[in-house]
A = this chain, B = another copy of it.
Amino acid sequence: MTTLEYVLLGLLAREPLSGYDLAQQIKTRVAFFWRAQHGQIYPALARMERAGLVVYEFVAQAERPNKKIYRPTEAGIAALRAWLTTPVEIAPARDELVLRAYCIWLADRAGTIALFREHERLHRERLALYERNQGWMAREWGERVHDPNSPHFASYIAIERGIGSERAYAEWCGWVAAQLEQTAAANER
């Protein structure tokens, strides 16, 4: 089983969805820790259906294309549960911006400052988005965001990771840009 299949199971365990819905939810709700396009999702669902991890209900629609609403089987939930506490490899991220940093001594100064300031902005933007999102959860879901048996708790702690990640990244970008600006200013004097 691929990790994507567990992502799909995890989403379907919350609510039954079509392949199209899954693609949307991955884009909007879990994009900060996973991504997948429909070209990958549909074959995965077919595999999982054959393996008995999910079943679908065919829904004929008049004014839109027909669709298949998938939900996990008991075997699917059991497979997900069993997988959840198995060891996780820390996947060393491939980060192009850190690569630029590692080669920064060769680069054009002004262009580099612009690049890092731009990324600082992007990450602060995301940070604000995630914080608004978490605030909404707290308001909307109340105490359930602290109940480990609720999916709302799960959403809450996951987005907390997004927030910490973006904050640390934005701060680093700003710190790098500031260092470059400082020495640029010193040289002009």
Residues of chain A touching chain B, judged by Cβ–Cβ distance below 8 Å, are: 3, 6-7, 10, 13, 30-35, 77, 80-81, 84-85, 87-109, 111-112, 114-115, 118-119, 122-123, 146-151, 153-155, 157-158, 160-162, 164-165, 167-169, 171-172, 175-176, 179-180, 183
Nearest neighbor of A32 in chain B, beta-carbon distance: B92
C-alpha gap A32/B95 in the complex (Å): 9
Question: Which residues of the partner chain B approach A149 to less than 8 Å between Cβ atoms?
Answer: 105
- Separation of A122 and B78 alpha carbons in the complex (Å): 28
A124–B169 CA distance with the chains assembled, in angstroms: 18
Quick check: B103 and A90 within 8 Å, CB to CB?
no
- The answer on a CB contact under 8 Å between A81 and B108 is yes
Pairwise interchain contact A80-B103, C-beta atoms closer than 8 A: yes
Cβ–Cβ contact A6 & B84, under 8 A: no
Is there an interface contact between A88 and B96, defined as CB atoms closer than 8 Å? yes
Q: Which of B33, B123, B148 contacts A93 (CB 8 A)?
A: B33
Please name the residue on chain B nearest to A115 by beta carbon: B85
- The reply to whether A148 and B104 form a contact with Cβ atoms under 8 Å apart is yes
Given contacts A92-B35, A161-B98, contact A179 B146 (CB under 8 A): yes
Q: How far is it, in angstroms, between the C-alpha of A85 and the C-alpha of B119 when the chains are bound?
A: 12
Contact A84 B96 (CB under 8 A): no
Chain B contacts for A151, CB-based, 8 A: 105
**Could you tell me if A91 and B101 are in contact, using CB atoms closer than 8 angstroms?**
no
Contact B35 A103 (CB under 8 A): no
